[in-house]
Structure 1
Amino acid sequence: MKRSNRAWLLFPIVIAGIVIVGLLVSNYQKEMGIAEPSEGGRAAVAATFAALELSRGTSPDAYKTYSDALLVAAVAKRNMAIINVADTRLDHQLTKVFDCLLAAREAWQAQVDRTWGDEVHGTAVYWQAMHPAIGASGDRLTAPAVREISVARASETLEEATRLVAD
């Protein structure tokens, strides 16, 4: 076999190797220690933790406090600068957490305002369409059940986000 033929055979292998290394480096910067989430991301996680803690309240006053904390967390998330892949992954996790926390807020608000309708709010289809991150299922749902499911899912997802910002 000629030398030039061998070079042409190795060329695609070298290109494939470069592509694989490039994909690994670009997607796993956090794990490789190349990139860390920004300070804004850390602030967003802290604010989201505060909102998550307040989501377990039961009174109408606790609902208002929770809504305010959720607004603060949303502003912190919106102010988060997306600089690298670690920030992008953190933003994705926080988006799922917010979907869950907003579902909990919606269920709580319907309960406080006494506007909960079993034919709408009580169906899993409604929650799957409006807040897919909670993964609601079942025949009939109640406001406390939706809140419990939402808060549990938000807690799980926020743990994943915390691992991204942990040193």
Structure 2
Amino acid sequence: MSAFLLSIHVLAAILTIGPVAIAASMFPRFARLALATPDEPGRVAAALILHRITRVYAVIGVLVPVFGLATAASIGVLGDLWLIVSMILTVAAATILVAFILPGQKRVVGALDRGAPDAGGLVPDGAARRLGMLTGVFNLLWAIVVVLMIYRPGSTTGVGR
């Protein structure tokens, strides 16, 4: 059962966190292009699609920690430091996504929809640049989690020794 749960956890991570990381990373560039030339519908559409991908896959991404915790429980590592650190980093990444990236994208998309030069008090181009930085931090946190999942200090697999 542990191998099945681990397989589902890894698949969920690849199929949900990967698209969020990529779409969120691409959004700032396409948003700046769309804001610079709002009369080009292809650029606006690209930003809108990237926002939708980020939003939808973020919701589905809840499966990753659910199956991760189930896997950890089944193999008896819930109290291991590497897993606790991974869980803290996962919560931090999710917080950045939900509290900053998605609302920031929504503000920029709102400005694109209205054709307005101001997105909720933020200059849209500045908001797009800020999103780039936040997405970089989000992706770095996930990269650290992946390394911790593979390296697993104290692992009996021999990996990382």
TM over 0.5: yes
DSSP-derived class of the 1:117 partner = coil
Change in 2 beyond 3 A, CA 1:165/1:88: same
DSSP-derived class of the 2:119 partner = coil
Considering fraction of residues, name the structure with more helix: 2
Distance in 1, matches of 2:19 and 2:83, equals: 20
Instruction: Determine if the alignment matches structure 1 residue 96 to structure 2 residue 99.
Output: no
Gaps of 5+ in 2: 31-46, 112-117, 152-161
1:88 CA drift (Å): 2.6
Distance in 2, matches of 1:161 and 1:101, equals: 15
TM-score between the two structures when normalised by the length of structure 2: 0.57
Q: Structure 1 runs of 4+ off > 3 angstroms?
A: 40-45
Change in 2 beyond 3 A, CA 1:107/1:144: same
Gaps of 5+ in 1: 1-37, 123-140
TM-score between the two structures when normalised by the length of structure 1: 0.55
Q: Between the two proteins, what is the percent identity of the paired residues?
A: 5
Name the residue aligned to 1:66.
54
Instruction: Determine if the alignment matches structure 1 residue 50 to structure 2 residue 46.
Output: no
- Size of the alignment, in residue pairs? 110
Name the residue aligned to 1:154.
138
Which string of whole-angstrom CA distances, capped at 9 and with x for unpartnered residues, describes residues 44-66 of structure 1?
A: 54332331111123311221111
1:112 CA drift (Å): 0.7
The RMSD of aligned alpha carbons is 2.6
Distance in 2, matches of 1:160 and 1:78, equals: 19
DSSP-derived class of the 1:94 partner = helix
1:101 CA drift (Å): 2.2
The amino acid of 1:159's aligned partner reads: A
The amino acid of 2:150's aligned partner reads: A
The amino acid of 1:111's aligned partner reads: V
Q: Does structure 2 conserve the Cα–Cα contact (< 8 Å) formed by 1:44 and 1:77?
A: no
Larger Rg computed on CA atoms: 1
Q: Does structure 1 conserve the Cα–Cα contact (< 8 Å) formed by 2:96 and 2:134?
A: yes
1:79 CA drift (Å): 4.1
Distance in 1, matches of 2:147 and 2:68, equals: 17
Change in 2 beyond 3 A, CA 1:44/1:100: farther
Residue range with higher mean Cα deviation, 109-118 or 143-152: 109-118
Which string of whole-angstrom CA distances, capped at 9 and with x for unpartnered residues, describes residues 2-56 of structure 1?
A: xxxxxxxxxxxxxxxxxxxxxxxxxxxxxxxxxxxx7265455433233111112
Distance in 2, matches of 1:89 and 1:44, equals: 20
